Every structure is written in structure tokens, then in C-alpha cells.
Chains A and B, each alone.
Chain A
Amino acid sequence: MSQNDPVVVIRDLTKRYGRFTALEGLTLSLDRGRILGLIGPNGAGKTTTIRILVGLARPTSGSATIAGADCLREARAIKRLVGYMPDSFGSYDNMRVREYLDFFGAAFRIARSARIRRVAEVMDVAGATYMQDRYVESLSFGMKQRVAIARTLLHDPQVLILDEPASGLDPQARIEMREILLRLAESGKTLIVTSHILPELSRICDQVAILTRGRLRAFGTLEEITRQISPQRTIEVQLAAPDQVAQAAAVVRGAVEPDSEVAGSEAESLVRFRTAKSEAELGGLLAQLVAAGVAVTQYRELQSDLEDAFLSVTRQDAGTNHLHAPATAGRGAAGRPSGDDS
């Protein structure tokens, strides 16, 4: 396979446990050196997807390949290609960090002298060198996560699949974990990461897949996903004086779609609205405001984030159609209380 081919290819992957469908028709692909964030509420099918990818679970139908190797039929090749970090650490009693890594290195058939060097290298990459003589069962959660990262790197896999690597970490450890993951991606590794901590994922992921109830609801870059979920954009107009809020809101209402939300806040001297209008049309609206004598100090689009996208998808999945409604309460214009609507 060429360097430009996708490293991870999942086609129509379905997994059923009796009558319960854990995963249905999942299809996606991931290029080399990219980081894919797999997000979804509890029970969405993230761990099932991961377990199929690493060969621990058998799909009911569909296929998955990593670097051309079939995840089900070529188990030995997959073990060499993939570094898997499950959500539980897998601790052994009475073993020190160095011995623990040495064991897994030996299990991957790394020759003794090369293994001694490799263990030192991976501990360095994961920032775990200082704890090499500590017993693994006595490590704090953050320390264990570092050791787990080091363990996944031992056999120098092409793809790293990490289940909740940032879960339970303090803010400092989370930043450090993020840096480690970014460094790994820069070194050419392909990463699939699940997490519930969405701001963390949005900072590192090139692509995001949102799963709910076993189905893929959105897939692409963060920008693509936000567009995919909601074609409307949130625009914020900052005014010089609060007494112009009502006038500005009236101008905006006249220019945007009839069902668009327009909210004004005199306390903040601003007007926010959601619209599907093009860039040119938005430029025309600004000209209208200026022509009407409204003193505009700022005119900008508010960026939707991963949390907005995720909540939007999960709400939609829950049956309440919020696709065009405010994404979050307290975030972005549409999320503001509408009591200020003038």
C-alpha cells in the first residue's frame, strides 16, 4: 500500500450482541499521521469499534483494515501494527515500571539488548523515566496513563488506539498528555483517540467521528462537522452604545430569514443572530447597518466548537430536533437567554 492510502479503513462495520446492536454500518477512513477523535455518549459504540479494530472483538458484518491488514483475519499482523491502550490499565502486582515494560517488550519478542534501549526510549517519550523503580500498582492514575502510553509504544506500532487517555487526569497532566499525543502524531503515528473531554480532543484531532447508539452521526474535520450539523452560522454585532440595540435588531430581522433567531442584549450592547446567508449577503447586511446609522464596533462570526457539535448531534439523536436551535446554553449567541430579545 502506498503512503497516501488511508491507514485505517472501516467499511459497513456492524456488531450485534443478540438483539442488541452495539454498532451499525460504521464506515470511515483515516490517513497516515492523522489523529481521529472518536466521541459519543456512554454506550455509543466507541469501545466496541476499538475492540474490533484491535482484533479483540469479532464484527457481525463489515470489515476493518489497518495498513492493509484485516483486523479479524490477520490478527498477528494487527498486533504488530497497532499499539492499544485500553481504558483499564492492566496492572500486575509486585512489578516495577521498568520490569512491567520489559515484560511487554519481551512479549513482543524484542531482543534483550534492543529491549533495554527501547524501554528507556519509550519511558522518555511518555515522561515516565522518573518512576521506573516504582511499583505499577502504587502509581497514581496520571502516572499509570504515562506508563500505558509507554507500553503501547514499545513495539513501535504504526497506529495507536487509545481509549480515554485523558480520563481522570488533572489539568496539568492533561496538557502534558496532549503534548505527548501531538508529538506522536508529528513523528508519523496515526492515532485514534476516544475521550469524553471534548475541548481536549478538539485541540488535537484532525478528524472527528461522532457516534450515538452505534451509528455514525458525523465525520470529518471539526469545521466540516459543524457545517454538516448546522448550516446556520452565529454572527455577533458589537455596538458602540446600548441604545442602538433595538434599531440594529430591527435591521437584522429585516435582512435574515424569517425563522432565524435574533437576540439583542442592551447590557452587552450587542446583537446576535443565526443565519444561513452567504458571505456576500452578510457583507450587505453590515452595509445596511452602517447606512442606518448604527455604530458597529465589531462584526464577526462565532466559531462553533466540538462541544456544540456533540450536543447538537446527541440532542438530535434523542429525538428533539435541535438542529437549527441554539447549540448550547451559555455558549454562543443563540445560547443566551432570549429575555433580552428586543
Chain B
Amino acid sequence: MSNPIVQRELLGLLRTRRALVLQVGFAAALALLVVLRWPTDARVELSGAQSRQVFRLFGYGLLAGLIVLAPAFPATSVVREKRSGTLALLLNSDLGPWSIYFGKLAAMLGFVLLLLVISFPSAAACYATGGISLWGDLGTLYGLLVLAALQYTALGLLVSSYAGSSDAALRITYAAVLFLSVVTLGPHLFLQGNSGLYPELAEQLRCLSPIPAVMETLGQMDVGSHGFPAAGGVARRYALWASVTTALGALATIGRLNYRMLDRARPQGKITDERSGAVRFLRRLMYLVDPQRRKAAIGTFTNPVMVKEFRSRRFGRFHWILRLVAACALVSLLLTYAATVGTLDWGVETIGGIMVLLQVALIVLLTPSLAAGLISSELEGGGWDLLRMTPLRTDSILFGKLASVTSTLVLILFATLPGYLVMLWIRPEMWGQISHVLIGLALLAVFALMLSAAVSSFFRRTAPATTTAYALLVGLCAGTMLVWLGRDAPFGHAAVETALKTNPLATALSVIETPGFTDYELVPANWWFMGWASALCLLILLVQTWRLTRPR
């Protein structure tokens, strides 16, 4: 460890309680996955199918854990130093940008590698069941995961060098990881089976994601291929693309690690009201709600905390929300239009499924960003004590904060309704299904809000609060899908149904009758689960907030 940054970052990270919790939790989760599917039958299956099932579950679990955990630390690494002023000290030292970058990269990667090492006992258990080759299966899986870790670490560091705050860096990094891992699969899903330039580009694009490569290694390349023959060599192409994107990300970040990052003038606070009429008109067109206009005083009977949240939030300011709403409405209508005019022969159910997926992705991506900083950002910025010194009651503070996020979420969810309306117009008999989907989505939004806000009250900094909220939500929506992936073999129908009853995404897909989810009766069990879980989170939030407002 001749690079002092490696020592400081890695050892510093390993000394934290958070790192210990992550390591223990990660090892326990993987062990649980293997134990769940450990063969209980005394007979040995010579085909090796049973051990493959265990291996698949383990492989997907490992990948899911990596996608959630790997970006968290690099995403805050540079921006945290920038905010605390230590980046200026590093840039002023003998360490050049290359040393700083590779020191950070090695430290962050070192932590992820440690997590992979922690998974070795579970991997060994899979190997012990037989039917899996050490290098061909396990070796390739770990090689791909190391590449994915490298790719996400480089991405996190790049985002971190641009971001203005730790929580913004986390949000953007997770959005980028989601894009790289999931959204890149979309075009291929639409265009597979066709020939020409676009299908070929789509085929290459999906190789940016580690998911098809891991699926190929686990022998599940045909999932989602709709019967089309799956192209081989995905793992090799992913290795190439991951190396290229990592190298590009590294070069871009190293290029930014210099004094220009810190050479910024303080914003002078231009006011639109004082600008020319033409500029005011253009800004009105551009923004609808101009963030630089002089705002009116808060109304006497308005909750001041709610207004403050709208005005001061780091993410989700009104002009961006309006643009997002417009984009949501457009995508929702386009999807429904494509389904109804027969451009795509997937049927209304599949299109409905895609809409549900997009809505759940929106809720899971946006809600922690909006709500995980409700309390923690106040504690971090020193505003909490100032709020405590005002006559505002705890319930008033909480109401203002929750209302500001709720209204934003309602706006976004309503923007996706036109698609359903078109569906209803075409097939009015779908009213029952759509109303059930909407109830499920609303419950998910409430749960995501309550969970993120409750998590927020346990942290003094927004970045770890946001990461934890994301991890819990993604764990609930994607984690239980691991059980669904192993439906019938290795998991039985009852086990899958029980697991999916906790999953709002699966419930919505089941209601809209998306292929693969039609056999499960998840309503109203999932609604009860979401309702009680939301109530529990609200209770935790109330107790925590009450505790935080008491003299200590």
C-alpha cells in the first residue's frame, strides 16, 4: 500500500460499523439463499439440474448485491472530499491526479472484492453440490462480477467528480447504474428477431449490462427471448464493453481531478424579475415555473415547512418535476398507442406490464431521493436545531415534509394515468384490473415514502440514508423476484407466492396479468402487507422525530 489514499480510504472504510454491517449482512443473505435451496432429498440427481438451481439463485443474489452495494462508496468519494476541503489538500500534495484516482479506485474496489471473498463459502457450498465447473462456471461468474464492480466503481467516481453533494452523487450514480444494467436491455427486448442496423445496435447496447452476461454464465440466456434464439458470446462482449467504459470513465475522471474543479465563483443570485422582458418571456417558456423568479412570502395559513421543502430541496425542484411529468405522460401514451394500433403484437397485458414496471421504477428511483433526506439533511446542515427553536410542533414539521413529497409523487403518478385511460377506452372490461394496479402503486408510493422518511430519521447524513432507503426498496422489489426466477424449480408455487406477497411490483404485474405472474393470487395479501408496513414505518418515524425534538 504505497499509495496513502488506498490506506486511508480502505482502512477508514473497514473501520466503520457500516462496513461491518454490510459484510455480515451480505454474507448472511447469500448463505440464506443457498440454504433455502439446499437439497433435502437423500437422492443424488446425476443431471446436475438441482445444483444448477442453487447456483443460479446464488449467482443472481450476488449480482443483485453487487449492483446495490458497489456504487455506494465511490459515488460519494470525490464529492465528500470536495465539500470538506480535503480535495484541495490532496491536489496541493505531491500526489498527481493519477495517484489520487487509482488510490480511490483501488480502495473502493478493494472493499467490493472483500465482499466477493466473503461470498466464497456460499460459492463453495454450491460447488460441493456438483454439476458446476470451478473455472467455467464459478470462475467466469466471479470474473464478470469483478468487471461489473470495476465498471460501477469507475462510474461512481466519475459522477462524484461532477456532483455538488453526496446525495446528488448517489442519486445520479444509482440512476446511471439502473440505466446501464436494466434500461440498456429494453431496445433488444423490442427489436430481437429483426435484422438490420438497429437490432444489431440494440444487441451491442445490452452488452453494456452485466445481467445478460451473468444469465449466459448461469445458463438462462433464453429468459425474455420470446422464443427467439439467443445470441452467444455475451459474456465476452460484456467484458470488452465493461473494460472500454471503465477506461473511458477513468480518463474522464482523471481529467477532472485538477484545480479547475474548485475554481468556481459563488453564484451571484440573478433574479429573473430584474432581467429584460425578452429574457423573462423565454425563461417562462423554458421553465414554466422559473426557479430564479422572486418568490412571494409564505401565506399566513400555509405550512412553512412544506413551502421550504419545495423551495430548497436539492432534488426534484418544480421545473424538473414538470418536465418529468410531461415525459411520463408521453411515454405512457406512446406505449398504449403502440399496443392498441397493433405496432407491437404483445397484447395489452404485456404493455400494461411494461407500464407497471416503469411506474415502479419511477417510484423506487424518485421516492428515496425525495424523502431519504427529509430529516437527515436537516441534521446534516444544522437546520434541525433551528427548526426546534421555532414554535412549530413536531407534527407540523413532519406534515410539511411528507406533504411536499406526497404532492410530487401524486403529480408524477397522475402523469402516467393517460396510458391507462386509453387502455380503458379500448377495453373497458379492464377497469377492475387497472383500479387494482393503481391501488397497488399508490400503496407502494406510500410505503416507499414512509420507509425512506423513517430511514432518514436514523441518519445524521443524507448520503447513507439515501443508500439505505434504496437498498431496502430495491431489496423488496427485486430481491423477492429472485425467488420468482427460481419458480417451480427450485421453488414450489406456494413458496413463490408467499415471497411475492411482499412484493408490490409482482402484485401489480399479477393484477395486470403479465405473462409469468398470472398464476399467483397476491391481492389483497400484498395490500395488507404494504398497509401495515407503511403504518409501522410511520410509527417509527413519529417516535424518532419526537425523540429528536426532545431536549437531550
**Residue from B291, B305, B311 whose CB has the most chain A CB atoms within 10 Å:** B311
CB <8 Å contact, B383 and A106: no
CB <8 Å contact, B298 and A86: no
Residues A89 and B297 in contact in the complex (CB < 8 Å), given A106-B304, A107-B387: no
| Interchain CB contact (< 8 A) of B304 among A76, A86, A89, A107 | A107
Which residues of chain B come closer than 8 Å to A89, judged between CB atoms?
A: 382
Q: List 25 A-B contacts (CB under 8 A).
A: A54-B389, A55-B551, A56-B385, A56-B388, A75-B551, A79-B389, A84-B386, A90-B385, A91-B382, A91-B383, A92-B381, A92-B383, A94-B291, A94-B311, A98-B294, A99-B311, A103-B298, A104-B386, A106-B298, A115-B298, A133-B269, A133-B294, A134-B267, A138-B266, A138-B268
Q: At the interface, yes or no: B392 with Cβ under 8 Å from chain A?
A: yes
Give the docked Cα–Cα distance between A95 and B308 (Å).
8
Which residues of chain B come closer than 8 Å to A98, judged between CB atoms?
A: 294
Q: At the interface, yes or no: A324 with Cβ under 8 Å from chain B?
A: no
Which residues of chain A come closer than 8 Å to B551, judged between CB atoms?
A: 52, 55-58, 72, 75
Q: At the interface, yes or no: A299 with Cβ under 8 Å from chain B?
A: no
Segment at the interface with A among B66-74, B178-186, B312-320:
B312-320
CB proximity to A under 8 Å, residues B266-299 = 266-269, 271, 291, 294-295, 297-299
Q: At the interface, yes or no: B229 with Cβ under 8 Å from chain A?
A: no
CB <8 Å contact, A112 and B297: yes
| Interchain CB contact (< 8 A) of A94 among B298, B317, B552 | B317
CB <8 Å contact, B381 and A76: no
Q: At the interface, yes or no: A2 with Cβ under 8 Å from chain B?
A: no
A329 to chain B, nearest CB (A): 33
Q: At the interface, yes or no: A102 with Cβ under 8 Å from chain B?
A: yes
Residue on A nearest B294 in the bound complex, by CB:
A133
Residue on A nearest B384 in the bound complex, by CB:
A90
Residue on A nearest B268 in the bound complex, by CB:
A134
Which residues of chain A come closer than 8 Å to B386, judged between CB atoms?
A: 84, 86, 90, 104, 151
Q: At the interface, yes or no: B47 with Cβ under 8 Å from chain A?
A: no
Q: At the interface, yes or no: B133 with Cβ under 8 Å from chain A?
A: no
CB <8 Å contact, B267 and A135: yes
CB <8 Å contact, A115 and B552: no
Give the docked Cα–Cα distance between A135 and B300 (Å).
23
Give the docked Cα–Cα distance between A233 and B471 (Å).
69
Indicate with 1 or 0, residue by residue over B312-347, a CB within 8 angstroms of chain A CB atoms.
111001000000000000000000000000000000
B84 to chain A, nearest CB (A): 14
Which residues of chain A come closer than 8 Å to B233, judged between CB atoms?
A: none
Which residues of chain A come closer than 8 Å to B267, judged between CB atoms?
A: 134-135, 138
Which residues of chain B come closer than 8 Å to A139, judged between CB atoms?
A: 266
CB <8 Å contact, A58 and B295: no
Residue on A nearest B397 in the bound complex, by CB:
A107
Q: At the interface, yes or no: A109 with Cβ under 8 Å from chain B?
A: yes
CB <8 Å contact, B269 and A138: yes
CB proximity to B under 8 Å, residues A54-105 = 54-58, 72, 75-76, 79-80, 82, 84, 86, 88-96, 98-99, 102-104
Main secondary structure, interface of B, reads loop
Q: Which residues of B contact A (CB under 8 A)?
A: 165, 266-269, 271, 291, 294-295, 297-300, 302, 304-305, 307-308, 311-314, 317, 381-383, 385-392, 550-552
| Interchain CB contact (< 8 A) of B389 among A84, A134, A138 | A84
Give the docked Cα–Cα distance between A139 and B551 (Å).
31
CB <8 Å contact, B313 and A94: yes
CB <8 Å contact, B552 and A56: yes
Which residues of chain A come closer than 8 Å to B389, judged between CB atoms?
A: 54-56, 79, 82, 84
Give the docked Cα–Cα distance between A81 and B307 (Å).
25
A87 to chain B, nearest CB (A): 9
**Residue from A52, A75, A103, A151 whose CB has the most chain B CB atoms within 10 Å:** A103
B502 to chain A, nearest CB (A): 36
Give the docked Cα–Cα distance between A106 and B382 (Å).
19
Which residues of chain B come closer than 8 Å to A52, judged between CB atoms?
A: 551
Which residues of chain A come closer than 8 Å to B312, judged between CB atoms?
A: 92-95
Give the docked Cα–Cα distance between A116 and B299 (Å).
11
Residue on B nearest A107 in the bound complex, by CB:
B390
Give the docked Cα–Cα distance between A237 and B300 (Å).
68
A284 to chain B, nearest CB (A): 58
Q: Lowest 8 A-B CB distances belong to which pairs?
A: A106-B304, A88-B382, A107-B390, A92-B312, A58-B551, A138-B266, A90-B382, A134-B269
Residues A109 and B391 in contact in the complex (CB < 8 Å), given A57-B551, A57-B552: yes
Which residues of chain A come closer than 8 Å to B269, judged between CB atoms?
A: 96, 133-135, 138
Residue on B nearest A86 in the bound complex, by CB:
B385
CB <8 Å contact, B314 and A76: no
Give the docked Cα–Cα distance between A112 and B301 (Å).
9
Q: At the interface, yes or no: A267 with Cβ under 8 Å from chain B?
A: no
CB <8 Å contact, B308 and A92: yes
Which residues of chain B come closer than 8 Å to A103, judged between CB atoms?
A: 298, 304, 307-308, 311
**Residue from A89, A92, A107, A140 whose CB has the most chain B CB atoms within 10 Å:** A107
Give the docked Cα–Cα distance between A153 and B268 (Å).
25
Number of chain A interface residues as a range = 35 or more
Residue on B nearest A76 in the bound complex, by CB:
B391
| Interchain CB contact (< 8 A) of B391 among A80, A91, A99, A138 | A80
Give the docked Cα–Cα distance between A92 and B291 (Å).
15
Give the docked Cα–Cα distance between A84 and B299 (Å).
24
Which residues of chain A come closer than 8 Å to B550, judged between CB atoms?
A: 58
Give the docked Cα–Cα distance between A54 and B385 (Å).
10
Q: At the interface, yes or no: A111 with Cβ under 8 Å from chain B?
A: yes
CB <8 Å contact, A99 and B271: no
CB <8 Å contact, A79 and B391: yes
B486 to chain A, nearest CB (A): 45
Which residues of chain A come closer than 8 Å to B552, judged between CB atoms?
A: 56-58
CB <8 Å contact, B391 and A107: yes
Residue on B nearest A80 in the bound complex, by CB:
B391
CB <8 Å contact, A107 and B392: yes
CB <8 Å contact, A90 and B381: yes
Residues A86 and B390 in contact in the complex (CB < 8 Å), given A133-B271, A138-B269: no
A214 to chain B, nearest CB (A): 17
CB <8 Å contact, B307 and A108: no
Which residues of chain B come closer than 8 Å to A134, judged between CB atoms?
A: 267-269
**Residue from B300, B307, B313, B389 whose CB has the most chain A CB atoms within 10 Å:** B389
Residue on A nearest B309 in the bound complex, by CB:
A92
CB <8 Å contact, A94 and B314: yes
Which residues of chain A come closer than 8 Å to B387, judged between CB atoms?
A: 107
A60 to chain B, nearest CB (A): 12
CB <8 Å contact, B300 and A111: yes
Give the docked Cα–Cα distance between A52 and B295 (Å).
36
Which residues of chain A come closer than 8 Å to B383, judged between CB atoms?
A: 90-92
Residues A115 and B382 in contact in the complex (CB < 8 Å), given A94-B291, A96-B269: no
Give the docked Cα–Cα distance between A52 and B386 (Å).
14
Indicate with 1 or 0, residue by residue over A239-283, a CB within 8 angstroms of chain B CB atoms.
000000000000000000000000000000000000000000000
A264 to chain B, nearest CB (A): 50
CB <8 Å contact, A112 and B385: no
**Residue from A76, A86, A94 whose CB has the most chain B CB atoms within 10 Å:** A94
B303 to chain A, nearest CB (A): 9
Q: What 20 additional pairs, Cβ within 8 angstroms, besides A58-B550, A72-B551, A96-B294? A: A56-B389, A56-B552, A57-B552, A58-B552, A84-B385, A84-B389, A86-B385, A91-B382, A92-B311, A94-B314, A95-B308, A102-B298, A103-B304, A106-B297, A107-B305, A107-B387, A109-B391, A112-B298, A134-B269, A138-B269
**Residue from B294, B308, B386 whose CB has the most chain A CB atoms within 10 Å:** B386
Give the docked Cα–Cα distance between A94 and B308 (Å).
10
Which residues of chain A come closer than 8 Å to B266, judged between CB atoms?
A: 138-140
**Residue from B312, B381, B552 whose CB has the most chain A CB atoms within 10 Å:** B312
Give the docked Cα–Cα distance between A99 and B309 (Å).
12
Indicate with 1 or 0, residue by residue over A294-321, a CB within 8 angstroms of chain B CB atoms.
0000000000000000000000000000
Residue on A nearest B168 in the bound complex, by CB:
A93
